[in-house]
Each structure stands twice: as C-alpha cells, then as structure tokens.
Amino acid sequence: MAGIEITALHKRYPDGTVAVERVDLSIRDGELFVMLGPSGCGKTTTLRAVAGLERQTSGDIRIGDTLVNDLPPAERDIAMVFQFYALYPHLRTRDNLAFPLRAEGLPETEVRARVAEAARMLQLEKLLDRRPARLSGGEQQRVALARALVRRPRAFLMDEPLTNLDAELRADMRTEIKHLQAQLGTTMVHVTHDQVEAMSLGHRIAILNKGRLEQVGTPLEVYNRPASLFCAAFIGSPPMNLLEVEVSEGALRTSGGLAILPPPDAPRGRPLVAGVRPEALEVVAAGEAGAVPARVVSAEALGDEIIYVVSSGGRDLRVRMPPTSRFAPDAPVGVRHTGGPPPVYDPTSEELVA
Ligand code: ATP
C-alpha cells in the first residue's frame, strides 16, 4: 500500500493542448480519493500519468517513496480499471482473473488461492466458468475489478468504471467499491464526472476545471464551502443559486430585496455573489413575514421532495421543499432565506471570500 504524491504535474500534448496545469495532489495511503470534473478537465490525463500510460511534460509523481516518473507502467505496482471492461472474450472468468498472475509467473497454487479470494470478495464464485459474453455489464465490471484485485497492487486507479452501467447497478457497484476499498485498505483513485458518485464514494474529492485544480476536500467541505464559483455551480443537484448581493442593513441583499444571513466576515460596500443552496430557501404563502414576492415557474415532484423554480426580482431561484408542500405553477407566493450564512464569492476573481 502507498500514498500518491503529485507535484506540479503539467501535461501539454504535442498539438499544444494543455490538459493538466501544474496540479499538486497529495493522496494518502489507504484513501479513496475521487477526481471530479466535467469532460475535458484533465482527469484521465492525470490518472494515465500516474499509471505511466502518458508521460507528463513536467512535474513529479511518487507512489509511496518511489519517484515513478521514469518507470514503465508494469513497474509501478498499481492496477487500473477502465470504463470498458477489457476482459478477454475467449477466457472464462477464472482464467480472466488468473491471467495477470500467470503473466507474472506465480505458482499455480498461489494463482488458484488468489483467484478464489478475489472471487469470494466480489461474489463471483458462481460465475467462474462463464465467458464474458454470458455475463451482464455489472458482472463484467465485477470481474474487471476482481482482476485488478488479484494482483494486490499498491494502489488502484479507476477511470469512470461505472459509466456504462444502468442507474441501479451503478448505485450497487458504488456500495461494493466502497466496501471493498474499506476491507482492503488499499489506496484508490477514482475518476468520474458524476458528482453524486464522487460525493457518495470519496473520502476526499479533488475538483478539476480546464486542467486546473479548483478544490480538494471531504464531500461535506466541498458541498458546504465550494472554493470557487465553478465548484459552487458544479456540486449539488440542483446546484446552488448564485445570487448577486451586497451587504446592507445587517444582511446580504439581492436587488429584489431577498435578505440572507451574512457570514460575519462578508466584505462591505462591494458587489458579491452568495451561493445559496436550494434547501436554504423556502417557498411560503404570499405576504408572509420576511419573504419577498415571487411566482411559481415550475414544480418538479420527485417523490421525497419538490424542487420549485420561483421567479423573484427578475430572476429564477431553485428551492427544495418537502413533498407535502402545495404551490401551483403560476401562483403568487413568497420566498425567504432560512439557512445559515452562505459562502460568498468575489464576482471578478470567482474565489471564496467569506
Ligand atoms: P473525459 O471525462 O471526457 O474523459 P477528462 O477530464 O478525462 O475528460 P482528458 O481526457 O484528460 O479529460 O483531456 C483533457 C484535455 O486534453 C481535453 O481538452 C482533451 O481534448 C485533451 N487531450 C486528451 N488527449 C489528447 C491528445 N492525445 N492530444 C491532444 N489533446 C488531448
């Protein structure tokens, strides 16, 4: 087992595209670390550089105490699991699992013991004699995971391994990966563009945008205090309302008059952007105390909650309400802030200021 230390990693492709820009990451030994960001932000390039499949332009990568910049993938002692399962179609599960071990020249008794152990951990015992064509997508992905596992690598690198699975299977596999990682205690770096996956899996999450690192934090840190407007708009479903405000009469106020509890250190006398979660707002009957007038634009009933979009002061606000709330589209209502002080951003630098 080993931590992974990435220092000033920079990758410029021959056509001039800068995919990763001086990224520093310190992934702890035994951590389930998620790299999250939209398509093209540089996640895969970073992971491939760690795996040794892509050579960085500059910067250092250490796995444990070893500087691996010049080591070929096979000597880095890590296992990579991809979005596409990459199983050998002509081999049965047991031989797909045994393949990397036989390639290493391990004695057959050891190979059998390790295959049996991995099959047990991923509940593949009944599938050991099937070929990939007779396995479902979820089962194939479990075999791919088991094949990474048998090698007992120092770290696992997972590149969107759940993308091809349907929603229910994805949720199951998330639980399985989390459980597996906790059992093994092996460092795991998991790449995804799906923020729900990142939040539910990661001990910590790194958010990347256009090759740059925007934030590293626990799921709650990232949710409660996004480090930049990019992170604020990216994390959460639906995401935060980003409201232009100024400090006035003890509150953050929008031009529509909505009053928001201010953080104590919110700078005065200049425009700010408040990141207000949909659950920190409330739709109420028109005219209620502390509410500004609004109109219901839409109501999305999701079973356990209703997401309202209300229009107030010339802009739309997303509000999360209990399923019992009843406000009809087009109804005149009120909206007010009920949460604690929100994170506040500078509109120019787009960084968190309070
Ligand atoms: P996705 O989720 O779509 O895989 P990603 O975050 O993993 O995206 P990368 O695949 O790392 O992003 O790509 C980062 C940037 O580098 C993108 O702009 C991409 O177009 C570019 N890129 C990737 N590979 C190459 C290449 N071989 N040559 C030139 N540019 C590349």
pLDDT, greater one: 4 or 103: 4
Q: Give 174 Cα–ligand 1 centroid separation in angstroms.
A: 25
Task: Specify the pLDDT at position 186.
Answer: 93
CA–CA gap between residue 232 and residue 339 (Å, rounded): 16
What pLDDT is recorded for position 138?
82
Residue 164: is its pLDDT beyond 80?
no
CB 309 within 8 A of CB 298: yes
Ordered domains of the chain (ranges, CATH): 4-233 (3.40.50.300), 238-345 (2.40.50.140)
Q: What would the DSSP string read from start to end of 172-238?
A: HHHHHHHHHHHHH--EEEEEES-HHHHHHH-SEEEEEETTEEEEEE-HHHHHHS-SBHHHHHHSTTT
Q: Nearest residue CA, atom 19 of ligand 1?
A: 40
How much distance in Å is there from the Cα of 97 to the middle of ligand 1?
Answer: 30
pLDDT at position 166, please?
79
CA distance 222 to 270: 25
| CA distances from residue 184 to 4, 42, 85, 188, 197 in whole angstroms, order as listed | 17, 28, 21, 10, 20
Q: Tokens 């770096």 appear where?
A: 189
Q: Which atom of ligand 1 is nearest to the CA of 17?
A: 30
Spatial neighbors of 174 by CB under 8 A, at least 6 apart, are 162, 197, 200, 201
Percent of the chain, pLDDT > 90? Answer: 81
pLDDT at residue 31 in the model:
97
Region 14-24: mean pLDDT is 97
Query: Is the pLDDT confidence value at 137 over 90?
Result: no
Instruction: Give yes or no for residue 156 having a pLDDT over 80.
Output: yes
Task: Report the separation in Å between the CA atom of 210 and the middle of ligand 1, taken as the mean of its atom positions.
Answer: 10
Q: Is pLDDT above 90 for 170? A: no
40 — pLDDT class (breaks 50, 70, 90) = very high
List the one residue out of 57, 60, 49, 3 whose CA is nearest residue 27: 3
Return the pLDDT at 161: 81
Distances (CA, A) of 238 to 272, 273, 317: 21, 18, 11
Please give all residues whose beta carbon lies within 6 A of any atom in ligand 1, as ranges: 13, 15, 17, 19, 37, 39-45, 193
Q: Which atom of ligand 1 is nearest to the CA of 20?
A: 14
Predicted confidence (pLDDT) at residue 314 exceeds the cutoff of 80: yes
| CB atoms near residue 31 (< 10 Å) | 20
Radius of gyration of the chain (CA): 24
By mean pLDDT, which of 113-122, 140-149, 167-176, 187-196 is the weakest? Answer: 167-176
Per-residue pLDDT band at 163 (split at 50, 70, 90):
confident
Our mutation pick for probing the ligand 1 site, out of 10, 39, 45, 55, counting the most ligand atoms within 8 A of Cβ, is: 45
Nearest CA to 130 out of 119, 118, 121 is that of 119
Cα 318 from Cα 308, distance rounded (Å): 6
Q: How high is the mean pLDDT of the chain?
A: 93
Ligand 1 midpoint to CA 40 (Å): 5
pLDDT tens for 61-98 read 999 999 999 999 989 999 888 766 678 999 999 999 99
169 CB-near residues (< 8 Å, 6+ apart): 137, 138, 162
Q: Which residue has the tokens 């399962």?
A: 85
Adjacent-strand bridge partners of 273: 244, 345
Instruction: Check whether 1 has a pLDDT greater than 80.
Output: no
* Range of lowest pLDDT (9-13, 105-109, 143-147, 302-306): 143-147
CA 208 to ligand 1 center in whole angstroms: 12
- For residue 253, pLDDT over 80 is answered with yes
- Per-residue confidence at 139, pLDDT binned at 50, 70, 90? confident
Nearest CA to ligand 1 atom 17: 40
Span from the CA of 78 to the centroid of ligand 1 (angstroms)? 22
In 3D space, the residue among 251, 213, 209 whose CA is nearest the CA of residue 342 turns out to be: 251
pLDDT number for residue 85? 67
Given a cut of 90, is residue 176 above it in pLDDT? Answer: no
Q: What angle do CA 91, 144, 74 make, to 5 degrees?
A: 95
pLDDT value at position 81? 83
